[in-house]
Amino acid sequence: MIEITFNVNGRKVNPNNMKNALENAMLKGFEESIKKSIGYVRCSEHNQAPKVLVKGRNFENLSIEVSGCCENIVKKATAKLK
């Protein structure tokens, strides 16, 4: 299963524990969009799913970083996210 982590302003954030409803909805929207795009992607050599880090200094400036078992899965997942 794909691992999606959120880091906002240097701290790990869990969308399920957000008190602000707008921020909660935004992060859950990010999560669902990522899952739809690459939730099924796996490395054909290592049978591993990519890992995704959504991070930024605040909720308005978030970026996505993809990592994984090898460069092949990173390229494959990154291409699907574009």
Which range of residues forms the domain containing residue 66?
3-81
The predicted structure's pLDDT at residue 40 = 94
C-alpha to C-alpha distance for 60 and 38, rounded to whole angstroms: 23
Characterize the bridge pairing of strands 51-56 and 62-67: antiparallel
Looking at the structure of the chain, the number of domains it has is 1
Tens of pLDDT, residue by residue over 16-64, are: 888 899 999 999 999 999 999 999 999 999 999 999 999 999 988 999 9
pLDDT confidence of residue 25: 93
What was the pLDDT predicted at 72?
96
* CA-CA-CA-CA torsion sign (31, 53, 13, 46): positive
